[in-house]
Amino acid sequence: MKKSKENDFHKNENKLNELEKTIQEYRAKEEKLTSKEAQKLKQVEEEYNNLLKTAYSDLSAWERVLLARLPTRPRSFDFIASIFDNFIELHGDRFYGDDPAVISGLAMLKNRGFAVIGQQKGSDVEENLKRNFAMAHPEGYRKALRVMKLADKFSLPIVIFIDTPGAFPGIGAEERGQAEAIARNIREMFTIRVPIIVIIIGEGASGGALGIGVGDAVLMLENTWYCVISPEGCASILWKDQKKAPEVAEYLKLSPPHLQKFDVIDEIIPEPLGGAHRNSEQTFENTRKVLLKYLQKLLDMNPEELRKKRYERFRQLGSFTEEKSD
């Protein structure tokens, strides 16, 4: 089941890429097109639009997971470069070293200073190896916390972009205190006195995401996922069978509509039909608008009110019922 769904998804994605390339080639010489070529362009555009609507108008949870993992999706650096001005990257945790899986620094937006943090995947194999596929080591989380403390000191709002398959589980990371680093970040983020806006732009897996995910506003792009475990991980543990991942994805309620319904996130940022990679500029603009909307609300709160509401927000997550015993 998993393989069949994945094959269909990637088949549609590859076909759309081919059609896009053909359309671009025709449009590059649009003024010199013959009547036959113009007719062909019209047919290709119609085929492209029909496939786009058929393949992406009603996505399952598993298809959103696959979309979130596409290497062509915009990364944290792309969002930062498009939304902010004058980004200056800050390196190192002042304890062990620098972690390329996490980027952090200072930037400007609307003449206001910001601290910006993101988990950075690569766009090719070489960069993914350098960035460790956005799976942070302890020094990545400690670097992020260092920048958050700096933002707190200088009253700079914090914007965080999440895109990770999870924190790095290697021996070295564990030896340097991976669990402690994540736990400390979660605790310390509740004490920050400036607004924190968290935006999930791809994958939001487990403590790897939550280690920089405590925010006053938590937003998700339309085709992303956010959960305590990946569908494959859950299927392996409960059924000893990764092929059940598409089915498990539905059970986990990891897609934006479910998470908004459960008040885990505040708002879903729309993506162009077919995913963020189909029109990155429109995705960046949509993200910027929603970001500014929530920023204005949060800037109106005083530090103590911010911290109180942040704490209450996470304490109230989840729902349950109680039955009285006789």
38/93 same-domain check: no
Q: Domain boundary at 12, 29, 58, which?
A: 58
- The verdict on residue 323 lying in a domain is no
Is 90 exceeded by the pLDDT of residue 38?
Answer: no
- The verdict on residue 81 lying in a domain is yes
Alpha helices by DSSP H, 86-189: 125-131, 138-153, 171-175, 178-189
pLDDT given for residue 321 in this prediction: 73
pLDDT given for residue 5 in this prediction: 64
CATH code, domain with 71:
3.90.226.10
Is 50 exceeded by the pLDDT of residue 69?
Answer: yes
19/152 same-domain check: no
Its pTM stands at 0.93
What lies within 8 Å, CB to CB, of 63 at 6+ separation is 5, 9
- The verdict on residue 321 lying in a domain is no
Three-class SS state of 321: coil
Averaged pLDDT for residues 131-140: 97
What lies within 8 Å, CB to CB, of 250 at 6+ separation is 60, 61, 62
pLDDT given for residue 46 in this prediction: 94
48/98 same-domain check: no
pLDDT given for residue 324 in this prediction: 77
Averaged pLDDT for residues 7-23: 90
CA gap 214, 187 in Å, rounded: 9
- The verdict on residue 215 lying in a domain is yes
32/100 same-domain check: no
Q: Which of 116, 177, 184 is nearest to 150 (CA)?
A: 116
Averaged pLDDT for residues 304-317: 94
Report for 1-15, 19-33, 145-159: range of highest mean pLDDT: 145-159
Please, what is the average pLDDT of the chain?
94
Averaged pLDDT for residues 162-175: 96
pLDDT band at residue 68 under the 50/70/90 scheme: very high
Q: Which of 233, 168, 228, 160 is nearest to 200 (CA)?
A: 160
233/84 same-domain check: yes
Tell me the chain's radius of gyration from C-alpha atoms. 21
Is 70 exceeded by the pLDDT of residue 1?
Answer: no
93/142 same-domain check: yes
266/141 same-domain check: yes
Averaged pLDDT for residues 79-101: 97
168/94 same-domain check: yes
CA gap 296, 6 in Å, rounded: 41
Q: What is the pLDDT of residues 216-261, one digit of tens each?
A: 999 999 999 999 999 999 999 999 999 999 999 999 999 999 999 9
Number of compact structural domains in the chain: 2
pLDDT given for residue 275 in this prediction: 94
228/298 same-domain check: yes
Q: What is the domain range of residue 45?
A: 2-58
Q: What is the pLDDT of residues 180-209, one digit of tens each?
A: 999 999 999 999 999 999 999 999 999 999
Strand locations in the chain, DSSP E?
85-89, 102-109, 112-119, 158-164, 196-205, 217-221, 225-227, 267-269
What tokens were used for 301? 């709160």
Cα–Cα separations (whole angstroms), residue 297 to 77, 173, 301? 26, 38, 7
- The verdict on residue 322 lying in a domain is no
Q: Are 202 and 73 in contact (CB under 8 A)?
A: yes
